[in-house]
Each structure stands twice: as structure tokens, then as C-alpha cells.
Structure 1
Amino acid sequence: MTKLVEIRDLRVAFDGVPVLHGIDLDVAPGEALGLVGESGCGKSVTWLAALGLLPEKARVSGSVVLEHRTLSNAPRSELEQVRGGRIAMIFQDPSSALNPVIRIGRQICEALRLHRGLSGKPAQAEALRLMDMVGIPDPRRRFNLYPHEFSGGQCQRLMIAMALAGEPDLLIADEPTTALDATIQAQILDLLATLRRETGMATVFISHDLGAVAQVCERVCVMYAGRIVEAGPVAQLFEAPRHPYTRGLFDAIPRMDGPRTRLIPIDGTVPDPRALPAGCAFAPRCARAQVFCRTERPELLPQTDGRLLACAYPVPTAPAVPQRERVSQ
């Protein structure tokens, strides 16, 4: 597989406490990759570390390569060229990412100036084109409005427009639909899929929403406690998840079709990074755990079906949605 971004043995620690434990991750040109898991699993930290956006107290090691260009320990001036230019990131809360006291047109034009050297009328024309591309109605009239004069969904579209200003090769969408209602979520997902088809840029979609990942991604990595525990093509992994944690995520999804059934929650919580279990981090919450799981940590290894899996006692191959106890009517 041709690699746009190659991450190897990425590790992060805050105040001496490890939170990422050797992440290996590749993104191919034009690919749509999903990154899923509970809050605190390390999804966002992975890409913030890769782009050098973590605070100074963070200790980061490992290798990050962008098309033969090493970003690890690169000088700030070089990273600033990459951020927004080659790799752009949109965040889940546009109201905090957009500057509330600067008109939106000026903010988009600033991104165009920094990454493409445009200014004046050419920058304004391109900003209007980007606003129209992401579905902002009447962009010329709204060019001089402030962020608070737009709805939440429109602010997220404006964040996407700013991310596209540098014509990036990779767009990282970090929970871009979390604060939006279902209708607007669907619109944003459709927009991201359309932009990827039209521009050819790769996309990393970070989300808790497995349905959204299924809609926009081709491949998915499941993270737990700072490690990738399962990875593979979306269709394959969604049809028959093998890691007990992945299966648990599917079992906890409410069903809209068929009879009413009880959800099967994953007992417990993600472990505190300061007190990780000696073996598999998921063992205390796993019904399939054996003595080995509590003493040895399984490695992420290729399987015969092509997926990657870190589990000594995986779930037998079966449909992702098991029969569940019927809810009394």
C-alpha cells in the first residue's frame, strides 16, 4: 500500500504517565480511515502528537513520516508549513475553534494567505468559493458576519472551508458531528464524503459513532487504553468483529429495526493510565478473559483474514448483532 502518512511506535506521556503505547498507523492517499473507541482511548492524542500540537509537558517519541518527510522532532517552522497545508484538522467544537471577534471571511482569507499566498481580491474570491463549496447559503452576504451569527452546523461547515483553504492531502476530522442534531450530522457526513471524492484528499474520521464511520470510511482502527486492538476494512470488521471490546461496542448500539431488545453495555470504564492492568488493559471488563490475559499483553498481529488483532481469545466469527433478551412489552 502506498503511504501518505506512516506512524511508527508513537508514544506519549504526560507528567511521566504513558497514555499512548506504541501506535503504528498508516494512511494511504485518498483513503478514508476511521478511528473509534471510548473517550480517553487516545484517538485525538494520536493525531495531536503526530502534528506536534500537544503541550510542552507532553513527552512524545516515535516516528511520523509524511511522504518520506520526517515530521518527528521537525522544527516549528517546518511543522507550520505542514499544518493546514499538507495536513488539516477540524475539531468537534467549532465555537471554540473559530475566533469570535474576527469576521469569518477574514479568518478564511488568513488561512489562504498563510498556505497559498493569496491576498486581496483573489483571496476573497477563493474564500467565497470555499464557503459555497461547503454549503453556506449566500456566501457574499455572509462573508463579513461573525461566527456567532451562524448556526452550529454552519460553523462546522466554515471550519471545513478553512481546513480546505490550504488544499491539504489529509483532512483529520475529530468528532466533527458530536454537537449537532441528527439531520445536520447527516449533512456534514455527506459533505465530507463528497469533498473527499471531488478533491482526492485522504480523511481520518475520529468518532464514537460506529454508524458514521460505516458511512464515510473504508478502513477502521479500534483503540482502547492507548493502543490499537483491532483494525481492518470496515465491511469485514463490522460484519464480524473479533476483539471482545469491538464486539462490545456493537452490542451497545440501539437497534432501530426488528423487535425491541435490551442493550448489552460494557461493564466498567476505561482504566486510569496511572493504574493500567498488568496484562491486557481490557481484561477486567472482558467476559472472555483467561489467566493469560491478566498477566500478558497480546500484541497486534496480522490474522488469516487480513485484519490486525490484539487478543488471545477472540470472539468466534459471527454476525455483529447477536440475539438479545427481548424487552418486556
Structure 2
Amino acid sequence: MPLVEISNLTVAFSGTRVLHGIDLSIEKGEAVGLVGESGCGKSVTWLAALGLLPGKATISGDVCIGDQQLVGASRTTLEGVRGGRIAMIFQDPSSSLNPVIRAGRQIAEAVELHRGLTGKAARDETIRLMELVGIPDAPRRFDNFPHEFSGGQNQRLMIAMALAGNPDLLVADEPTTALDATIQAQILDLLISIRAETGMAIVFISHDLGAVSQICERVNVMYAGRIVEQCSTEALFQSPRHPYTRGLFDAIAQIDGGRERLVPIPGTVPQPGRLPGGCAFAPRCTHASELCHNTIPQLVGDRDRRATACFHPIGMSGANLRVVSSVQGATVA
């Protein structure tokens, strides 16, 4: 049984749907990447799963951790899962830490809540977590305020807070975006080492394919509220099949390359309330046919344990795929 199973998850804000049936499973101890442009639904997927979206959001589908259903669960149930079984860290630690409460006290609060420790035991565990994530001279810096730490150290503090409940799954929502390249590498190394030490699973949300390649075994590529490609990280980098994924790779500058112009993806991401009738990527795709403009391709797996939501995947014959249209209810061979 997967650690977390998400099935047909949909989210709408004020009647406008932004997620269109997300299916995603996370196994115990694995690292899974979720990549795509800003606004594609990466973060919303996990905010919805943990019940962290505002009241105007309408959520349907299933999110199960073991036998426990999270969609529609009570506040008490969700609070028992958040931080305890599933923890989440965000891309801007400065907005997540309270600037007027000492950093160690904020981590200790999480330790007290999820571990039941108090007093000296809670302080000692907090210092251990601070040392685990690489905060130097942790006993002395326990009483420092967040502004007395660097940006990278604040992110380490957020990771320490997330680890306070010994979670089975850590959701890292673009944790390196606001950091310089050197600190980014240190945070990635930290996540890799913590995963190896604790055995927890990681969902790594990012638009940085390079970072995803360092930390994840599997990748899910999202576009306009749908997953359009699923496969191993190695397979994705060797032969991306969805035209959108191919476009992401073509837009990356090659360090050892010449001075050739980058190849951008033409057009812009459609607004959630103005999606085209067929494939959302069709207006920007050089491979699109009439079928693509009129029918939504479904995410279909193959013998290579890869799944692609495309009628004309790169490097494959469209005639070899069976794709079910959610619009017309037809099967296209």
C-alpha cells in the first residue's frame, strides 16, 4: 500500500476549476518531484491535500494516508496529520517564521505539540534538530530571533521544525527558490542526507529540473492543473515524451554549449477560467492536430512504466496509444 494515495483530486476557487483530477501516489521512503511553470497547480495539490486552502475552495476526490481519508476530514483529524505524518516547508522561510518569537522557541513548540515533550527535554530535542540541519553553535543560537539568521539558515530552521514530528512524508515547496546557488546546493544536500538518515519520503515541488534531478527518483510534470507526464527521473532526462516537457528542456541554457539562442515555448499558460476545449497545451504545441484542439488526452501508462497525456508523444507512434477522452467519452486508438 502506498504511503499517500491521491485520486481524482479537483479544486475550484469560486466556481473556477484549477485542478482537474490529479492522481498521484507516494511510496514509503521515496523522493518524488512535481515540476511545472508557476500557476500549474503544484502547490495547490498539497495545500488541498492537507486542508490548508481557504474556505472559498471547493475540493473533491480522495487523499488517503494509509487508511485515513483527508478530504472532508475533521479539523482534529487534519491537525493530527499535519506536522505529525505529513510536514510541509515553503519557499519563503522569512514569511513562515514569526519575527517576534525566538527561533528555538518556535521549533520547541512543534516538538511539544507532536512529541509531547516539555521543559528541558523539549529544549534538548530542539537543539538536536538545529544541529541536525546544520545550525552552528545551536545551544547559543536557540534564543536568536529569525532576523539574526541568514536566509539559508532560516530555511534550515523551517526544515528542523518540519522534522519535529518525525513525519513519514516531507513536502518541500520550492525550498531553494529564494536562495543563491551555493546555499541551494547545501539545502539539497541536507534534504538528501536527512532522507537517508530518517527514511522519510519527500515530495519536492520545483520549477528547477536540475534540482529535481539531484533529489528525486520519479517526476510528475504538471501543466494547467493536470499531470501530463509521469516517469522515472532518468527516463525523463533521457527522453521526455510530452511536447511541454521537451519544451522545458529546450529552454534550459547549456553550460558547456555555444552562444545559440534558447528555444522558448511560444505563447502563455491559459488562465484557469479560459482553458481551450481540448488539450490545454495545444495552442502552444508544434505537434498539435485537430484531435488535440477538440479532445482532452488522458494520462495513459505504457509497458515502460511511463505515463503521458498526449496524442502525439515525442518518440512514439500515436497509433500505439489508447487514450480516453473525458470530453467526448470516446476511445481513440
Residues 150-229 of structure 1 aligned to structure 2 (within 5 Å): 150-229=149-228
Amino acid at match of 1:101: V
**CA distance in structure 1 between the partners assigned to 2:116 and 2:108 by the alignment:** 10
Paired position in structure 1 for 2:235: 236
Amino acid at match of 2:282: A
Q: Specify the SS of the correspondent of 2:165.
A: coil
Q: 1:69, CA displacement in angstroms?
A: 1.1
Paired position in structure 2 for 1:304: 303
**CA distance in structure 2 between the partners assigned to 1:237 and 1:157 by the alignment:** 29
Paired position in structure 2 for 1:327: none
**CA distance in structure 2 between the partners assigned to 1:231 and 1:21 by the alignment:** 16
Paired position in structure 1 for 2:272: 273
Q: Specify the SS of the correspondent of 1:312.
A: coil
**CA distance in structure 2 between the partners assigned to 1:311 and 1:231 by the alignment:** 12
Paired position in structure 1 for 2:8: 9
Paired position in structure 2 for 1:86: 85
**CA distance in structure 2 between the partners assigned to 1:258 and 1:51 by the alignment:** 43
**CA distance in structure 1 between the partners assigned to 2:276 and 2:302 by the alignment:** 25
1:148-188: CA deviation from partner (whole Å, max 9, x where unpaired): 11000000000000000000000000000000000000000
Q: 1:42, CA displacement in angstroms?
A: 0.1
Paired position in structure 1 for 2:143: 144
1:302-322: CA deviation from partner (whole Å, max 9, x where unpaired): 0232101000011126xxxxx
Paired position in structure 1 for 2:327: none
**CA distance in structure 2 between the partners assigned to 1:67 and 1:247 by the alignment:** 35
- Structure 1 residues 35-44 or 261-270, which shifts more? 261-270
1:269-315: CA deviation from partner (whole Å, max 9, x where unpaired): 11000100000000000000000000000010002321010000111
Q: Specify the SS of the correspondent of 2:17.
A: strand
Gaps of 5+ in 2: 317-333
Paired position in structure 2 for 1:33: 32
**CA distance in structure 2 between the partners assigned to 1:311 and 1:257 by the alignment:** 32
Paired position in structure 2 for 1:62: 61
Q: Percent identity?
A: 69
Q: 1:259, CA displacement in angstroms?
A: 2.6
Q: 1:238, CA displacement in angstroms?
A: 1.1
- Structure 1 residues 263-272 or 170-179, which shifts more? 263-272
Amino acid at match of 1:195: I
1:45-68: CA deviation from partner (whole Å, max 9, x where unpaired): 000000000000000000010011
Q: 1:261, CA displacement in angstroms?
A: 2.2
Paired position in structure 2 for 1:42: 41
Paired position in structure 1 for 2:257: 258
**CA distance in structure 2 between the partners assigned to 1:261 and 1:30 by the alignment:** 41
Do structure 1's residue 126 and structure 2's residue 121 form an aligned pair? no
Q: Specify the SS of the correspondent of 2:77.
A: helix
- Structure 1 residues 104-113 or 257-266, which shifts more? 257-266
- Structure 1 residues 303-312 or 37-46, which shifts more? 303-312
**CA distance in structure 1 between the partners assigned to 2:128 and 2:7 by the alignment:** 38
Q: Specify the SS of the correspondent of 1:11.
A: strand
Cα RMSD of the aligned pairs, angstroms, is: 0.7
**CA distance in structure 2 between the partners assigned to 1:139 and 1:31 by the alignment:** 30
Paired position in structure 1 for 2:20: 21
Q: 1:241, CA displacement in angstroms?
A: 0.2
TM-score (ref. length: structure 2): 0.94
Amino acid at match of 1:291: E
Amino acid at match of 1:162: M
Structure 1 residue runs of 4 or more that deviate by more than 3 Å after TM superposition:
none
